[in-house]
């Protein structure tokens, strides 16, 4: 009889488990299905920003009776989960994300257009530009992020006027590798993009409405080849300023140790530099040419699910609550990224670090979200890494351009 008892115990566990397996996913996301009085909005939020949104969520519930259910999600999986869950009807009403997801999200048909109405004018231009995909706005922007040069002001007291000046100033301070930037075996085109734009070679041209045009590949323009030449000269067989063995961790360590005075990186690394006791100043990116070095801008925001049963409340919540200065400033405090709402951006810029990044951001261009960009990423970094490591710049760049062109079709 003892056997049966154990068996039954095991069985109990099994059925409980299978019941959860079979019904578990249903139970978790049913918020959107019940259009009962008031209703519930399910919002997937990046784990670090849940607290920042609590105030806005509570205020909205109080005002309208609509419950806002903030679900903390892992930043690494939130996009894939969203794409996979929306068609099943188990997705959220609103999801937090970044503008460069837009190509993928629209191709999969999981986001609904968002009408910002007259409030569109209250946001930074780059934010609205990034939130727009093929002429339609899909995202409520809340933050703008771009890279800039972090300078160790104790080592080099004044900003560099050009790229060569930066290296010269660093060498004068007695450093062998004064400038570091994150690369890797497969390169890191995101961090090299400002130098490429300085040579007048953006990835794509823009059409009349200001959207990127996948048929107008500017990578292969004359500037592209000039950039490749310059990169080669700064690589292994040249000055050695760029090195694909310097990854994020090595670059960071060099700056924190004071063996590098300039570090081209984003706001996410400022905290650790300040914590390490470094007197950090944020400089514009020194250009190797006479033109400005324009980095990519990444814009973060909220998307509305195409399958949301609560689109009216969700739109209202996004446009009229999350688009207010208070909420944007709360989000700013949680992430230290420049707010996308102009008024909030101004308030936040009282901090010199934020002001520094936002000054560089004024030149920034939104990272293309079009699916063709995926084909570019695939070959881009590898080609740049090869050039840095001494491959022939002209031939490598030619191959890059033809590979990308071939992949776009």
Partner 1 sequence: MAQTSTTRRPASRGPAPDRQSVRSLLVKIVLLGIVDAISVYAAFALVLQDNWVVAIVVLAVTALVNWIYFSRRLIPAKYLTPGLIFLAVFQVFVLLYTGYVGFTNYGTGHNGTKQQAVSSLLASSLQRVEDSPTYPVTVVDRLGELGLLVTDPSTGEAYVGTGDEPLAAVPDAEFEGRKAVSAPGWTSLSFQDVIARTEEITALAVPYSDDPNDGALRTPDGSNAYRYLSTLEFDEQAGSMTNTQTGVVYSDIGTGAFVAEDGSELRPGWQITVGFDNFIRAFTEPSIRGPLVYVTIWTFVFAIASVFLCFALGLLLAITFQNARMRGVKYYRLLLVLPYAFPAFLSILVWKGMMNESFGFINQVIFGGADIPWLTDPSLAKVSAILVNVWLGFPYMFLICTGALQAIPEELTEAATMDGARGWGVFRQIKLPLLLSTTAPVLIASFAFNFNNFNLVYLLNNGGPRDTTTSLPVGHTDLLISMVYKVAFTGQNRDYGLASAFSILIFLIVAAIAVISFSRTKALEEIQR
Per CB under 8 A, contacts with partner 1 among 382-401 are: 382-383, 399
Candidates 62, 74, 118, 275; binder of partner 1 (CB under 8 A) is: 118
Binding to partner 1 (CB under 8 A) within 288-317 occurs at 306-307, 309-313, 315-316
Q: CB of 6: closest distance to partner 1 in angstroms?
A: 9
Q: CB of 181: closest distance to partner 1 in angstroms?
A: 15
By beta-carbon proximity to partner 1, the closer residue of 148 and 313 is 313
Whether the CB-CB separation of 66 and 337 falls below 8 Å is answered with no
By beta-carbon proximity to partner 1, the closer residue of 160 and 251 is 251
By beta-carbon proximity to partner 1, the closer residue of 360 and 400 is 400
Under the binding rule (CB under 8 A), the answer on residue 86 touching partner 1 is yes
Q: CB of 237: closest distance to partner 1 in angstroms?
A: 12
Q: Give dist(CA 150, CA 139) in Å, integer.
A: 30
By beta-carbon proximity to partner 1, the closer residue of 87 and 271 is 87
Candidates 109, 210, 271, 390; binder of partner 1 (CB under 8 A) is: 109
Q: How many CA atoms lie within 13 A of 242 on its CB side?
A: 27
Per-position x/- string for 13-52, each x denoting binding to partner 1 as judged by CB under 8 A, each - no binding = xxxxxxxxxxx--xx--x--x-xxxxx-------------
Binding to partner 1 (CB under 8 A) within 128-157 occurs at 134-136
Cα–Cα distances (Å) from 14 to 11, 22, 177, 306, in that order, read 5, 12, 60, 36
Q: Give dist(CA 186, CA 28) in Å, integer.
A: 40
Q: CB of 111: closest distance to partner 1 in angstroms?
A: 8
Which of 309, 324, 182, 202 shows the shortest CA–CA distance to 254? Answer: 182
By beta-carbon proximity to partner 1, the closer residue of 83 and 293 is 83
Candidates 28, 72, 107, 405; binder of partner 1 (CB under 8 A) is: 107
Binding to partner 1 (CB under 8 A) within 216-255 occurs at 243-247, 250
Candidates 53, 114, 143, 198; binder of partner 1 (CB under 8 A) is: 114
Whether the CB-CB separation of 193 and 296 falls below 8 Å is answered with yes
Which of 405, 42, 381 shows the shortest CA–CA distance to 181? Answer: 381
φ, ψ for residue 247, nearest 5 deg: -95, -175
Candidates 51, 59, 71, 108; binder of partner 1 (CB under 8 A) is: 108
By beta-carbon proximity to partner 1, the closer residue of 34 and 161 is 34
By beta-carbon proximity to partner 1, the closer residue of 279 and 320 is 320
CA end-to-end span of the chain, whole Å?
A: 70
Q: State the alpha helices, DSSP H only, in 91-241.
A: 102-107, 125-131, 163-172, 189-198, 222-233
Q: Which residues pair with 69 in a beta bridge?
A: 42
Taken in order 303, 215, 221, 239, the sign of the CA dihedral is: positive
Q: CB of 14: closest distance to partner 1 in angstroms?
A: 4
CB neighbour list of residue 98: distance below 8 Å, 6 or more residues apart: 298, 299, 300, 301
Binding to partner 1 (CB under 8 A) within 192-221 occurs at none
Under the binding rule (CB under 8 A), the answer on residue 320 touching partner 1 is yes
Question: ∠ CA(282), CA(299), CA(95), 5° rounding?
Answer: 135
Q: Which residues pair with 44 in a beta bridge?
A: 71, 95
Q: CB of 200: closest distance to partner 1 in angstroms?
A: 26
Candidates 57, 149, 278, 319; binder of partner 1 (CB under 8 A) is: 319
By beta-carbon proximity to partner 1, the closer residue of 37 and 290 is 37
Candidates 72, 239, 378, 405; binder of partner 1 (CB under 8 A) is: 378
Q: CB of 370: closest distance to partner 1 in angstroms?
A: 10
Which of 295, 302, 313, 362 shows the shortest CA–CA distance to 131? Answer: 302
- Name the E strands within 108-168: 111-112, 132-133, 136-137, 139-146, 148-152
Question: ∠ CA(205), CA(210), CA(211), 5° rounding?
Answer: 70
Candidates 7, 157, 205, 210; binder of partner 1 (CB under 8 A) is: 7
By beta-carbon proximity to partner 1, the closer residue of 305 and 358 is 305
Binding to partner 1 (CB under 8 A) within 334-373 occurs at 371, 373
Q: Checking DSSP bridges between strand 40-46 and strand 94-98, what pairing results, if any?
A: parallel
Q: Give dist(CA 381, CA 182) in Å, integer.
A: 12
């Amino acid at each position: 009889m003892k056997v049966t008892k154990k068996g039954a115990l095991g069985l109990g566990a099994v059925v409980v488990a299978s019941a959860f397996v079979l019904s578990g996913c249903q139970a978790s996301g049913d918020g959107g299905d019940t259009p009962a009085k008031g209703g519930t909005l399910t919002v997937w939020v990046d784990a670090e920003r849940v607290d920042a949104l609590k105030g806005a969520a509570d205020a909205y519930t109080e005002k309208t009776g609509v419950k806002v259910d903030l679900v903390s999600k892992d930043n690494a999986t939130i996009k894939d989960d969203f794409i996979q869950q929306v068609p099943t009807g188990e997705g959220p009403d609103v999801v937090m994300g970044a503008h460069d997801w837009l190509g993928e999200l629209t191709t999969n048909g999981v986001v609904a257009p968002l009408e910002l109405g007259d409030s569109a004018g209250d946001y930074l231009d780059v934010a609205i530009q990034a939130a727009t995909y093929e002429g339609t706005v899909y995202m409520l922007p809340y933050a703008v992020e771009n890279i800039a040069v972090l300078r160790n002001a104790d080592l080099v007291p004044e900003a560099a006027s050009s790229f060569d000046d930066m290296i010269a100033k660093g060498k004068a301070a007695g450093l062998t590798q004064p400038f570091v930037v994150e690369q890797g075996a497969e390169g890191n085109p995101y961090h090299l993009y400002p130098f490429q734009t300085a040579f007048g070679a953006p990835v794509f041209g823009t059409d009349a409405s200001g959207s990127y045009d996948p048929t107008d590949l500017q990578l292969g323009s004359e500037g592209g080849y000039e950039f490749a030449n310059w990169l080669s000269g700064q690589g292994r067989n040249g000055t050695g300023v760029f090195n694909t063995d310097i990854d994020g961790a090595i670059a960071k360590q060099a700056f924190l140790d004071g063996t590098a005075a300039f570090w081209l990186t984003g706001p996410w690394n400022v905290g650790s530099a300040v914590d390490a006791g470094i007197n950090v100043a944020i400089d514009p990116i020194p250009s190797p040419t006479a033109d400005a070095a324009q980095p990519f801008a990444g814009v973060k925001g909220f998307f509305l699910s195409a399958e949301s049963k609560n689109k009216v409340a969700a739109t209202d919540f996004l446009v009229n609550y999350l688009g207010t200065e208070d909420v944007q400033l709360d989000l700013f405090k949680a992430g230290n990224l420049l707010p996308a709402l102009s008024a909030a951006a101004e308030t936040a810029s009282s901090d010199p670090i934020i002001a520094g990044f936002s000054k560089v951001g004024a030149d920034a261009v939104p990272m293309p979200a079009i699916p063709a960009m995926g084909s570019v990423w695939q070959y881009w970094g590898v080609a740049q890494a090869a050039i840095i490591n001494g491959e022939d710049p002209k031939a490598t760049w030619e191959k890059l351009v033809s590979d990308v062109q071939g992949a776009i079709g």
